[in-house]
Amino acid sequence: MIPTLMLAAALLGSLPAGTTCTTSEEKILQRWQTLCDDGTRAVPTWNQTLSRWESIVTPPPGKTCTGQLNPHTRQVEGHCR
């Protein structure tokens, strides 16, 4: 689960300064979620077909977020607009 939380953190890393995010466990759904005070939300899910974790980032109202793999660092870079 740690790599998934790091992925969500990378996608959320482009949030404006002063934005506060909290990661907590949703015990009923047995998953982790990250909620930010600007309305951004990230939820990791296990893709059984590809055997990997994927994070879904829901941007705040009126904004869109994208993420892509940097071929040099092999890390996800996220941007919200």
Asked whether 21 and 36 are in contact (CB, 8 A), the reply is: yes
Q: Which amino acid is at 62?
A: G
Supply the pLDDT for residue 16.
Answer: 62
pLDDT tens readout for residues 37-51: 888 888 888 889 988
Is there a contact between 32 and 5 (Cβ–Cβ < 8 Å)?
yes
Terminal Cα distance for the chain, rounded = 27
Q: What percent of the chain has pLDDT over 90?
A: 2
Gyration radius of the chain over CA positions:
13
More confident residue, 17 or 9: 17
